[in-house]
Amino acid sequence: MNRMTSGSRHSSVHPRRSSSLQRRSSSRSVSSTSAPPLTGPCIDTCGHDALGGRAPGTAPDAHGSVFDPRARDLARRAGPDAFAQRLGRYDAAHVTRWTVRDVRSLGVGLAYLLPSFVLFAVFVFIPLGRTFYLSFYNTRATGAITTFAGLDQYVELLTSATFRTGLVATVLFAVYTVPVGIALGLVLATLLNQRLRGINVFRTMMASTIAISAAVGALLWLLLFNPSLGLLNYVLSRLGVPGPDWLIQPNTAILAVAITTVWLTLGTNIIVMLAGLQGVPEEIYEAARLDGAKGFRMFSRITVPMVSPSLFFLFVVDTIAVLQAFTQIHLLTRGGPVDTTRALVYGIYLDAFQNFQFGYASAQSVILFLLVLALTLLQFRFVERRVHYQ
């Protein structure tokens, strides 16, 4: 009786357990059969394959990922080897497809840039490399290389009094020209930025020097500096001041060249500064007026900081242009008197095309290149930190 009762109990319990086990096994079988197989691509409605990889021609997810976390979790449960194998195969195909597209885009871009590359190679890189090469050799008057000089050209340059005089003349020329040209351009651009009737006529007149070449401008100032017929000495004589011999006296020769250079660069400086001033929001000036700022205080506290990117640009560009100035020196003073205006560029011209010492002139060119490069890097290192970018 008891056995039968216990048996009946067991019989009554086992069906429940078996049914629960069946339900669990059926749910597992359903979940296992519902997962996409790992042996072949199975694209769902979102465009994913079995591992959640984005199918070809479908858009990425809203969150920007190309893998679905749920499908990736299912793949991990199936086994790390299969997951890694499928993932690597998908990534390889994906990278290969995008690499081909990138190569095609790169080829099109290089085709457009090829003419510029050719021009830079012919007129910049090849002459620069040739200059570095010739600076270590002695040459004949025809330019043919004779013997290897090593660093002898550079040692002779650094110990030459003429080279030191040219270096001093170059530095003085830059000091006289760059700050004055930028300051004058800023002041005139501020005046030309006013909203007045007919202001465009004055803007055109002040910026017209940008259309005048250095040769024409130097010839104009050669007439103005003439001690007998020049306009400058005539004005000074009417004021009771004796006019100097601008291009003959050592004290005024480099000043005359600097004045000519400032006038030649004034048009560019005005245009750049005027563009910077017109980019300053008017609301800043209105807020400054409400705070009581006006006149020079507004100019120094508002205008100058807001146009500091333009000032820095002109500072770098004008410095490089002044260090490479040649035409105005050649037409006005020819390096004289007593080598006071014999800048480095003009010294390179004399040694290369009058003395035919191409190796010696190449060494001077290398030193000038390093000087310009060093000054530019120093400007970016110490001056740019004071620039206020909006």
> Which residues fall within 8 angstroms of residue 223, CB to CB, at 6 or more apart?
229, 230, 231
CA atoms within 13 A on the CB side of 198: 0
Assess whether 181 and 62 both reside in one domain. Answer: no
**Whether the predicted pLDDT of 9 surpasses 70:** no
Assess whether 158 and 257 both reside in one domain. Answer: yes
Assess whether 67 and 158 both reside in one domain. Answer: no
Residues composing the chain: 390
Assess whether 161 and 98 both reside in one domain. Answer: no
Structure token pair of residue 77? 């449960």
Q: Is 29 inside a domain boundary?
A: no
| pLDDT bracket for residue 10 (50, 70, 90) | very low
> Which residues fall within 8 angstroms of residue 298, CB to CB, at 6 or more apart?
285, 288, 289
Query: So what's the pLDDT on residue 194?
Result: 86
Assess whether 90 and 234 both reside in one domain. Answer: no
Query: So what's the pLDDT on residue 52?
Result: 44
Number of structural domains found in the chain: 2
Assess whether 196 and 253 both reside in one domain. Answer: yes
Tens digit of pLDDT for each residue in 320-367?
A: 999 999 999 999 999 988 889 999 999 999 999 998 999 999 999 999
User: Using CA atoms, how far apart are residues 327 and 261, in angstroms rounded to an integer?
Assistant: 10
The mean per-residue pLDDT over the stretch 33-51 comes to 44
Secondary structure letter of residue 196 according to DSSP? -
Assess whether 57 and 164 both reside in one domain. Answer: no
Query: So what's the pLDDT on residue 29?
Result: 45
Q: Is 373 inside a domain boundary?
A: yes
Strands (E), the chain: 137-139, 145-148
Query: So what's the pLDDT on residue 260?
Result: 95
Q: Is 138 inside a domain boundary?
A: no
Q: Is 74 inside a domain boundary?
A: yes
Query: So what's the pLDDT on residue 285?
Result: 86
Q: Is 141 inside a domain boundary?
A: no
Assess whether 57 and 187 both reside in one domain. Answer: no
Output the pTM of the full model.
0.69
Assess whether 40 and 172 both reside in one domain. Answer: no
Assess whether 41 and 99 both reside in one domain. Answer: yes
Tens digit of pLDDT for each residue in 240-266?
A: 888 899 999 988 999 999 999 999 999
DSSP string, 214-230: HHHHHHHHHHHT-TTT-
**Whether the predicted pLDDT of 219 surpasses 90:** yes
**Whether the predicted pLDDT of 269 surpasses 80:** yes
Assess whether 104 and 158 both reside in one domain. Answer: no
The mean per-residue pLDDT over the stretch 90-96 comes to 48
Q: Is 240 inside a domain boundary?
A: yes
Q: What is the CATH number of the domain that holds 312?
A: 1.10.3720.10
| Domain around 77 | 35-108
**Whether the predicted pLDDT of 21 surpasses 80:** no
User: Using CA atoms, how far apart are residues 51 and 37, in angstroms rounded to an integer?
Assistant: 9
| pLDDT bracket for residue 82 (50, 70, 90) | low
Q: What number of H helices and E strands is found in the chain? A: 17, 2
Q: Is 354 inside a domain boundary?
A: yes
What is the pLDDT of the chain when averaged over all its residues? Answer: 79
Assess whether 315 and 240 both reside in one domain. Answer: yes
CB 342: neighbour CB atoms within 10 A?
Answer: 26
Q: Please state, for a pLDDT cut of 70, what percent of the chain lies above it.
A: 75
Query: So what's the pLDDT on residue 390?
Result: 66
